[in-house]
Amino acid sequence: MRTLQSYLGGKWVFGKGARQTLVNPATEEPLAEACAEGLDVAAGLEFARRQGGAALRAMSLRERGELCGALARAIYEHRDELLDDAMKNGGNTRSDGKFDIDGGSGTLAHYAALAKELGDARWLIDGDTIQLGRSPRLSGRHVYVPRTGVAVLVNAFNFPAWGFAEKAACALLAGMPIVLKPATSTALVAHRIFELCAPLAPAGVLSMVCGSAHELVGMLGYGDVIAFTGSSATAAELRRLPRVIDSQVRLNVEADSLNAAVLGPDVEAGSDTYELSVRDIVREMTQKTGQKCTAIRRILVPESLKERLREDLVERLRAVVVGDPFASGVGMGPVASAQQQRDVTAGIAALGEQAERLLGADAPAPLGVPDGKGYFVPVTLFEAEPSAARVHELEVFGPVASMLTAPDDPALTAELLARGGGGLVCSIYSDDRQWVARMLEGAAPHHGRLVIGSRKIADQAVSPGTVMPQLLHGGPGRAGGGEELGGLRGVALYAQRTALQGERPMLDALLGKQ
């Protein structure tokens, strides 16, 4: 059994309290132990602020990007090893594991490439010079400078690689040291990544707390940042913490989301646009066993297409083989933990009180799994009336979605989407530009990202659940109200935007000699 140490103050350390056991969610076999009790986390944070922060601020943007590139290569070079850990500890199929691990290394590589173009400056320039006086001599500029604290990255259980990378890439490029707090239940991948990456960075730049560390956030203060991914309930607790309020700790949240797929009235069964929608829905329901913040939970379909879509989804979802990810032919593994299994099962029961179950009641036994073992749930498809409240209020974090009849009027369809209270992503399938324009007008205020699927891009479209580093990731309302990635926009969370005002030749000289 592996021992997962924390990495604080440039050293590997292990706690002295009760140990938490990580298991294989398909077989319930113990894999590793973690403990953070009794660690001097405060000293580790201060070491990161002083040592790591100073080292990063001394680097140019290009050099910080080179560090991101080195981390990306380390992850990619040990890809097979990390995939094995993802399959053992996360219940991931090999394809699911690739989605997480390749997404992580790809995101770090993307930011490395961005930084290469920024050169040897240490500050990121925001916008052009602004004339403030009668002549250009009196001018102003905006710059992003590194914050002097530490960035605490609180990651969810479902993406131990990608979740780390999307936060770390922006923080490191901004010049801010990081302390990763991975979800303990699936920490095997994150821990191994840190073992690979810690020697590549200056002391204090990379730190990690592995195991329960409830006191961590209470040790933060002015200048520090929390980048949180997880439930809206936990996010609400973070927002209420006195240290977050009184010390103005900057907090970014990515939380719950009842993402939707909407088929336009022009879509014909069997068309390229239709097939794209079916492919996306099936993938988003089953990839990572539906444990994705971007997974499709609501499917809005015109009455004319409802019967055909129902048949096609049931047929294709029923063909997905559920079982041990290491067994041949398995297309979907278990959920990540016993608690997740209980939560998803309870959510299915709650939705079933207001919707008709089309698939999932008679699921076969998982393939390659000992009887009674594993945290498995069936792929479940419901059909409900658009007025069913729970469909718009309850996110079941597993392979579960509900079909609804979409109104003819796109404005009314957008109102249904808005009942979700704010989402990360909505996918819209149509070739009717006028209808799409009306949908965008109604849907955009309630989503962080809109994906438009149409015939001309059906052969190259990226699934709506794929978070692209070039575009913002986040959403309003219940989705957390935060923003990550988006190219250089993602750096803003970890930097201070400062306006410089003065003599233009002096400003130009100062900013040219960082």
List, in sequence order, every residue forming a beta bridge with 38; answer none if it has no partner: none
Strands ordered across the beta sheet of 495-503: 124-131, 138-146, 495-503
Q: How far apart are CA 42 and CA 282, in angstroms?
A: 45
Q: What tokens does 70 get?
A: 């080195």
How far, in Å, CA of 59 to CA of 66, rounded? 10
What's 245's DSSP letter? H
Q: Kind and range of the H or E element at 193? A: helix 187-197
Residue 1 CA from chain centroid, whole number: 29
Helix (H) or strand (E) holding 501: strand 495-503
Coil/strand/helix, residue 263: strand
CA 425, CA 284: separation in Å to the nearest integer? 12
Active-site residue, 170 included:
no
Q: Which of 166, 197, 210, 254 is catalytic?
A: 254
- Measured in whole angstroms, how far is the alpha carbon of residue 292 from the centre of its chain? 8
CA dist 514 and 104 (Å) reads 30
User: How many Å apart are CA 225 and CA 332, to the nearest integer?
Assistant: 36
One of 166, 293, 383, 483 is an active-site residue; which one? 293
The SS3 call for residue 364 is: coil
Residue ranges of E strands in 306-394: 356-359, 380-383
Q: Which two tokens stand for residue 39?
A: 């660690």
Decide if 307 contacts 470 (C-beta within 8 A).
Answer: no
CA distance 309 to 297: 15
Instruction: Mention every residue, 6+ apart, whose C-beta is less than 8 A from residue 193.
Output: 74, 75, 82, 104, 160, 161, 164
285, 317 in Cβ contact below 8 A?
yes
Q: Please, which residues have CB within 8 angstroms of residue 377's CB and are 6 or more apart in sequence?
A: 289, 334, 335, 341, 344, 345, 348, 398, 399
Amino acid identity, residue 192? Answer: R
Smallest CA-to-CA distance from 480 within 243, 278, 238 is with: 238
Q: Check the CA dihedral 461-466-468-474 and report its sign.
A: positive
Where helices occur in 28-93 by DSSP H, the ranges are 41-47, 53-58, 61-77, 79-90
Structure token digits, residue 181:
């707090």
Catalytic residue positions? 254, 293
